[in-house]
Amino acid sequence: MGSNATSYKQMKEDFVSNLTGGSITEINYVTAVGPIAFILWSVLQSRQSFFKSYKPPSFLVDFLLNVVAPLLALTLYANTPLLLCGLFIVPAIFVYALPRNLPVSRKKPKLPPSAQSQKPSGALSVLSTKPFLTTYRGSMLVLTCLAILAVDFRLFPRRFAKVETWGTSLMDVGVGSFVFSAGIVAARPVLKERAEGRTTPLLQRILYSMRHSLPLLVLGVIRLISVKGLDYAEHVTEYGVHWNFFFTLGFLPPFVALFQSAVKIIPSYTALAILIGVLYQFVLESTNLKAFILVAPRTDLFSMNREGIFSFIGYLAIFLAGQDTGMFVLPRSINPRSGTSNSTQRITLLLTMAVWTLNWSILYFFSTHYKYGAGLDVSRRLANLPYILWIAAFNSAQLLACCAIETVFFPSFYNATDAKTEQEDYEIATSRVLRSFNRNGLAIFLLANLLTGLVNMTVPTLDVGPGATMGILVGYAAALTIVAVALDTWNISIKL
C-alpha cells in the first residue's frame, strides 16, 4: 500500500515536471476568452439591464460568463479558443441589436430649496474605484484559481502547465500577473500620500509593510508544514524545497518600502523595475549564478531554496512595474490640467495604456529576438528579464482591453458628477462575481489552495475521465464563487 502511494505521488510529480510550455500567441487566444465573454456580459447589462436586479438567474448567467467560460477555454475548448470567442461574440451582437430595455426609474418627490441646500454634495475624491480595474483583477484571480486545480487533471493540456526552465505557458503568466496586479493597487497609498502633501518616514513605511507581510509569511509556513506533513506531491524546481508563493508575496512589501526611497533618485517605478531586471540579467549571464540556480546540488537551506530566493528579484521588478501602471490608472485625472472634459481624460488614459502596452511589447521583442535583439529565453523559474517584460506587456494589454470595454458600454461612470452617482454606476458596470473575487482576492486564493489540496487528497486526478473532470472543476468553481459572493453580500472584507 505504501509503495503504491509513493509511486502515485511520483506519477503526479512527473505529470507536472519537465514541461516546455506553448506559444505566446495561443496563450493570448485562451486568455482573450475572459474579456470577450465580458463583452457579452456588458451588452446584457448596458442594453437590457439584465444584472441590475440581481436574482438567481442573473447570478447563474454571471457565473457562466465570467467563471465557466474561462474554464472551458482551459479544458474542452483548449484547442479551439477562437471558436469559443465566436460563441460569445455572436449572441453579443444579437443582444446589442435588440431594442434597449432599461428599467423605468421611479421619480423621487422634488425636495424644497431648503432641503436641497442641506443635502451633502458628495464631492468626487482624487482616487476612484474603477470598474475596469475590478474586472481585470477579478478575472485574473478567477483564471488563477481555476488553473491551480485543473492542472492536476489530464484534460488540462500540458502546454498550459508551468514550464520546467525555459519557455512560456498559461500558468507561468498567471503567477506573474498576480504580482503585477498587486503592484497596481499598491500605488493607491502612494498617490494618496502625494495628494495630501505628506511623506511617511522610511522606518514607519517598513513597519507598516510588515503588518501586511506577517499574515502571508504565516500562510507560507502553514503551507510548508501541511505539504511536508501530508507528503503532498510537490514540484521542487518551481520555488525550491521549502519556499512557496506565499513567501514571495510576503517578502514583497518591505522590499518595496525600501525601494520607494530610491524613487527620489530614479523618479519612475518603471525605470527602477527595468534597472533591476537588466542588472539581474547581467549577473545571470556574466557569473555562475544561472548555473547555480539551475543545476547546483541542494546541500544547505540557501541552495535548497535558490529558485524562490533569486526569482524574488524578478517578482520585485514585476511588482514595481505594476505599481507604475497604478500611478496613472488609479487617479481620477490622468491629465492634471483643469477644465479637461471627462471624455478627453478617458481617451488620454486609453492612449497612455496603449503606449505602455506597446513599449513593454517592444522591449520584450528586443530582449528575446535572436536576430534583432539579445536572443534571451523566457524563464519563470529564474524570473529573468524577458519574463519580467512579458508579464508587464501581457497585463498592460489585458488592462487596456478591460478599460476599452468599460469605455464603450458604460460611459456614464467616468461622466459621474458626484460620489453617490459614481458608486451606483460602478456597481452597474461591474460583474457581481468578479467584484466579489476582487474584494477578498487573497482569502479566495487561499480557499482555492485548500480545496485543491482536498481534491488531490481524495480523488485520483490522473485517472479521472473528461466528464467527471468537468463535474469536479465546475463544482469547485461554483463553491469558490458562492463563498466570494456570500462574503460580498454580507459586506465582509477579509484582509490578509
- In this prediction, residue 317 has a pLDDT band, given cuts at 50, 70 and 90, of very high
- Enter the pTM of the model: 0.93
Q: What is the mean pLDDT of residues 167-174?
A: 95
- Residue 258 burial (10 A CB sphere; 0-12, 13-18, 19+): middle
C-alpha cell at 494: 477579509
Q: What is the mean pLDDT of residues 210-238?
A: 86
* 40-58 confidence digits (pLDDT tens): 999 999 999 999 889 999 9
- Residue 287 burial (10 A CB sphere; 0-12, 13-18, 19+): exposed
Tell whether the model's pLDDT for residue 4 goes beyond 80: no
* 80-98 confidence digits (pLDDT tens): 999 999 999 999 999 999 9
C-alpha cell at 466: 473528461
Tell whether the model's pLDDT for residue 391 goes beyond 70: yes
Asked if 402 and 377 touch (Cβ cutoff 8 Å), the reply is: no
Going from the C-alpha of 328 to that of each of 126, 176, 188, the distances in angstroms are 12, 20, 10
Residue whose C-alpha is closest to residue 440's, from 403, 488, 402: 488
Q: Specify the range with the lowest mean pLDDT, choosing from 154-163, 231-240, 335-344, 430-439.
A: 335-344
Give every CB contact of residue 376 below 8 A, 6+ residues apart in sequence: 281, 367, 368, 384, 385, 386
Tell whether the model's pLDDT for residue 104 goes beyond 80: no
Tell me what pLDDT residue 122 has: 67
Q: What is the mean pLDDT of residues 308-319?
A: 97
The whole-angstrom separation of Cα 199 and Cα 263 is 13
Helix (H, G, I), strand (E, B) or coil at 331: strand
Going from the C-alpha of 361 to that of each of 22, 154, 171, 398, the distances in angstroms are 18, 33, 20, 13
Going from the C-alpha of 198 to that of each of 185, 189, 194, 209, the distances in angstroms are 19, 11, 6, 18
Asked if 272 and 263 touch (Cβ cutoff 8 Å), the reply is: yes
Q: Cα 112 vs. chain centroid, distance in angstroms?
A: 48
The whole-angstrom separation of Cα 151 and Cα 168 is 15
* 25-34 confidence digits (pLDDT tens): 999 999 999 9
The whole-angstrom separation of Cα 434 and Cα 318 is 23
C-alpha cell at 345: 481624460
* 392-435 confidence digits (pLDDT tens): 999 999 999 999 999 999 998 887 778 888 889 999 999 999 99
Helices 202-229 and 245-260 pack at an angle, to 10 degrees, of 170
Number of other CB atoms surrounding residue 28 within 10 Å: 14
Kindly tell me the sign of the dihedral angle through the C-alpha atoms of 226, 227, 231, 233: positive
The whole-angstrom separation of Cα 394 and Cα 207 is 33
Tell whether the model's pLDDT for residue 116 goes beyond 50: no
Q: Specify the range with the lowest mean pLDDT, choosing from 101-105, 240-244, 355-359, 484-488.
A: 101-105
